[in-house]
């Protein structure tokens, strides 16, 4: 089976507090994009997982979420099996775009079909939650409000098709570090936020991340000031900053590279239908 694993952006992200289990309670509106990784998943005769990836910088052992998904699925069905997986990586890692979580969800869906298990969407979402906080979102992969630590999914309508420009600086960011920085930072009562339709675009992780990585607020302000940009915000825990476009600004990606350098990853895409 060949299956795509879409990226996502957080159109809003509120951090409500730290939980007793060490995670954080959040409320976030996430939307899938038409930028995607691609996985080839094949069953094999001998037990175990053979995993390869086009990006040699990623771990290919049990710490990779792809391998964790295989292990979780094997545990859920109570038996071992053999699978060969190749990941063609298009979504940059450490970017706040959910690439690793999406890859894991794609593996769960592929194995569910290839092995003929027949788990429901709800069962797959519960299984996904055992792998990572963002993984359940990618099971249905539709715009949704996610609560708890991300495992409570409420699909929403009316935001498909918006055009997005992703801009990732040439450095990744750790999700664990970003949430730790949020916990240690003073909290702001600022209420102003740009709007995406009726949605206030607020990311509570921006302030602590921006205080360390000073290039990111500069990038956000620059994007927001460009013709054809409705609003700009950091996605997730960063380091990607994205701009919501009104259909103009065809050369915006080129202007980003001229202004900030050719090492920046720039991708024009849409919220997936």
Query: Which amino acids are annotated catalytic?
Result: 8, 134
What are 41's strand-pairing partners?
A: 85
| CB distance 263 to 170 below 8 Å | yes
In 131-261, the DSSP E strands lie at 144-148, 152-155, 163-168, 195-196, 199-200, 229-234, 241-245
243 bridge partner residues:
165, 232
**82: its two tokens:** 């053999």
The whole-angstrom separation of Cα 157 and Cα 155 is 7
How far CA 72 is from CA of 65, 66, 141, in Å, comes to: 10, 10, 20
Q: How far apart are CA 174 and CA 176, in angstroms?
A: 5
């Amino acid at each position: 089976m060949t299956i795509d694993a879409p990226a996502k952006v957080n159109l809003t992200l509120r951090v409500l507090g730290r939980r007793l289990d060490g995670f954080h309670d959040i409320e976030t509106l996430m939307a899938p994009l038409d930028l995607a990784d691609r996985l080839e998943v094949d069953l094999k005769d001998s037990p175990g997982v053979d995993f390869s990836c086009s990006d040699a910088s990623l771990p290919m052992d049990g710490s990779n979420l792809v391998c964790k998904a295989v292990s979780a699925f094997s545990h859920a069905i109570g038996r071992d099996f053999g699978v060969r997986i190749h990941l063609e990586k298009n979504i940059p890692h450490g970017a706040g775009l959910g690439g690793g979580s999406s890859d894991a969800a794609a593996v769960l869906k592929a194995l569910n079909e290839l092995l003929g298990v027949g788990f429901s969407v709800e069962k797959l979402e519960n299984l996904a939650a055992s792998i990572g906080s963002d993984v359940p979102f990618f099971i249905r992969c539709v715009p949704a409000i996610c609560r708890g630590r991300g495992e409570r999914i409420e699909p929403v309508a009316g935001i498909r098709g918006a055009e997005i420009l992703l801009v990732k600086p040439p450095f990744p960011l750790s999700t664990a570090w970003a949430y730790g920085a949020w916990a240690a930072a003073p909290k702001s009562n600022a209420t102003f936020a740009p709007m995406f339709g009726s949605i206030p675009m607020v990311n509570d992780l921006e302030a602590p991340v921006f205080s360390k990585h000073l290039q990111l607020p500069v990038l956000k302000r620059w994007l927001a000031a460009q013709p054809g940009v409705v609003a700009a915000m950091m996605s997730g825990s960063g380091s990607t900053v994205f701009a919501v476009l009104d259909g103009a600004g065809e050369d915006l990606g080129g202007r980003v590279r001229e202004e900030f350098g050719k090492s920046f990853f720039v991708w024009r895409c849409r919220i997936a239908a």
